[in-house]
Amino acid sequence: MSWVIVARGHPEITARHRTTFMVTKDREVGPMGDCIIAIGADKAGPDLSSELKHAIRAGRELVITLEVDGMAEKVHAFGHPSLVLSHPTDLVVRKSRFVCGRTLAVGADKAAADLRRKFVAALRNPATKLELKIEASAVHRATY
């Protein structure tokens, strides 16, 4: 099963953070938001389905596919039992094992800085739609 979060681009997106990437429901991004890859997301932690939250908290392996303008980036990460998914606007995917209310997944193999620059350039257009698709493996894989 897969779940989709839809967000859009913004001219201030730099996607230069080396350990995380984030989508947010916020409508603006400033120059300090170097982990933000899209704004105006239609979901944050509290909006995710109970099925997805269960899969994430079961520590399942996640494949997160970022799609924009016919381009795709795949990110492999993991859920974690400590993820509360409570932040009302932000979802963060982290290379580290740090968890907080914003964290969607940990142990990721990509961060914002790892995305192809052509992909990031497309995200600087406010008319660009980003689809973030999350697929959870059927197998629990503890990485913590």
Fold held by 2-139? Jelly Rolls (2.60.120)
Judged by DSSP in three states, 140 sits in strand
Predicted local distance difference test score (pLDDT) of residue 140: 63
pTM over 0.75: yes
CA 40 to chain centre: 13
In the chain, beta strands by DSSP E: 2-8, 20-24, 36-38, 60-68, 71-78, 90-94, 103-105, 129-140
Asked whether the predicted pLDDT for residue 37 surpasses 70, the reply is: yes
Domain boundaries, the chain: 2-139
Predicted local distance difference test score (pLDDT) of residue 2: 87
